[in-house]
Amino acid sequence: MKNRTRILAALALMGAAGMAQAAGNCTISLKGDDAMKFDLKEATVSASCPTITVELAHTGKLPVTAMGHNVVISKTADMAGIARDGIKAGAANAYVPKGDARVIAHTELIGGGQKTKVTFPGKALTPGGDYSFFCTFPGHSAMMKGKLVVTK
């Protein structure tokens, strides 16, 4: 009965949306390498996703202490401040300021050959807002950054 109600509700929503796309993208997959680069300059997610997954694969070989990478998501206006405070937070905090409300989501810091992921609710983002993804390892955010486009 519960399932049937859900299906009916979903059908009603689809009808209301008409020809529009039913669901947007809910996963961001990034690769970071030993050349201090992400493979994408832009990624798109939907604020209507119950859960957004951010995946990071470090395709290089260098250790986390030399070429660590993470993915931090914030408003673009907060990026420089978070990167600066991340350096102050230091290696012990994986270069992410602790309990920082500007940080919408962040992965662990990983080294070559490792993978990580993190999830956060789509409702943490506003469609059309100006967001970025970047790495807070010292010096990396100058190159390791991209635009996060948020759709409805």
Residues that bind Cu ion (CB under 5 A): 69, 135, 137, 140, 144
| Secondary structure E strands in the chain | 27-32, 42-46, 52-58, 72-75, 105-106, 115-120, 131-134, 145-151
For residue 31, count CB atoms less than 10 angstroms from its CB and return exposed for 0-12, middle for 13-18, buried for 19 or more: middle
* Beta carbon nearer to Cu ion, 34 or 100: 34
Q: How many residues does this entry show for the chain?
A: 152
* Beta carbon nearer to Cu ion, 46 or 136: 136
For residue 54, count CB atoms less than 10 angstroms from its CB and return exposed for 0-12, middle for 13-18, buried for 19 or more: buried
* Beta carbon nearer to Cu ion, 95 or 131: 95
Residue number, nearest CB to Cu ion: 135
DSSP-derived 3-state class of residue 146: strand
* Beta carbon nearer to Cu ion, 106 or 140: 140
Residue 135 CB, nearest approach to Cu ion (Å): 3
Residue 98 CB, nearest approach to Cu ion (Å): 19
Residue 140 CB, nearest approach to Cu ion (Å): 4
Residue 35 CB, nearest approach to Cu ion (Å): 10
Residue type at 140 in one-letter notation: H
